[in-house]
Amino acid sequence: MPILFTLGTLALVIFLGWFARYLKILSSAHTRGMSSYIYYFALPALFFEQITRTDLTTIDSKIIIGSIAPILALVALLLLLHLVKILSKENFVLLALAIVFGSNAFFGITFFQAFAGAAGLKFAVISSSVLGPVGIALTIYLFEYATAHGKAWCFCGKILRNPLIISILAGVVFSILKIPLTPILDAAAMLGQTAGPLAIFALGAFIFENFSLTEFKKSLPFSIFRLLALPAATFLLLNFWLKPTGNLNEFLLLQSGIPAAISLSVFAERYNFRVATISNFVVGTSLGSFVIIGIAYFLVN
């Protein structure tokens, strides 16, 4: 079946990234360099080219609502449980972090392009363009709350200098203005084509560098929460409110199985907050997402 073939392909690429680090063909410096290229060049190029060539007036608002609403609903529920003293501050932050920032730009783009071709890529770019800025902003404020650094506004400035967000905003502007940029867009498309495979390969290297059985066990409740709660909330939203049809319904449910973003580990290091635990729930959700996405596919079909 197509879903099993796609997931199997991604799993193989992840394994090769892990194996390259295991054999020391790649060093941690190589991995960082690869990640920098993806983050600063390949993914921004992909977003800019895809959004610029999209007629924004044709976008179904349900893709935006269906992507954001389940996350906000779960965060609101967690906040309520924290306010009534059911959840401790640390557990509230860790559970919320597991929800707010998914690997939609790295894992999601690659998966949907491989699974559904151009149509899947278009959906994934649109949803990632919304989820990325929201996820970054919520992540920063959760870390600020956890550590009481009081530097949130400083990092909000960095949000606006984020290469992915710049590429999204630029793509929106050029799409609206309809300025002909064919050579630039063709060059961006060439760079963008390298983003997906490299991102998945780099995930394998990340798993090798960060997996710890002890921390993996500690992080398991947070991994399970994301893997189960987000698809459940999305399913309820789709069936009792939005009721999208066809490919959009399938996309939104499959998207809810996307793992947590590797960037969470970077933020954890910056704030010196539960780095090993957060890195390992990224690993846990990355591995568990294969099962959840497979189950979601069979449910929606």
pLDDT (average), residues 61-69: 96
Cβ within 8 Å of residue 270, ≥6 positions away: 143
Average pLDDT over residues 97-121: 93
Q: What percent of the chain has pLDDT over 70?
A: 96
Q: How confident is the model at residue 1 (pLDDT cuts 50, 70, 90)?
A: confident
Domains and CATH numbers, the chain: 2-300 (1.20.1530.20)
pTM of this structure:
0.90
Confirm if 217 and 206 have CB atoms less than 8 A apart: no
Predicted confidence (pLDDT) at residue 108 exceeds the cutoff of 70: yes
> Taking Cα atoms as reference points, which of 243, 158, 143, 202 lies closest to residue 14?
202
pLDDT at 288: 97
pLDDT in tens, 168-222: 999 999 999 988 888 999 999 999 999 888 999 999 999 999 999 999 999 999 9
The values of phi and psi at residue 282, to 5°, are -65, -45
**Which tokens sit at 213?**
């059985």
- Average pLDDT score over residue span 17-46: 92
- For residue 246, what pLDDT band results from cuts at 50, 70 and 90? confident
3-state SS assignment for residue 211? coil
Bridge partners of 237, per DSSP, are: none
Under 8 Å between Cβ of 13 and 201? yes
**Tens digits of residue pLDDT in 120-148:** 999 999 999 999 889 988 998 899 899 87
- Contact assessment for residue 81 and residue 227, using Cβ atoms and an 8 Å cutoff: no
Q: How many CB atoms lie within 10 A of CB 239?
A: 12
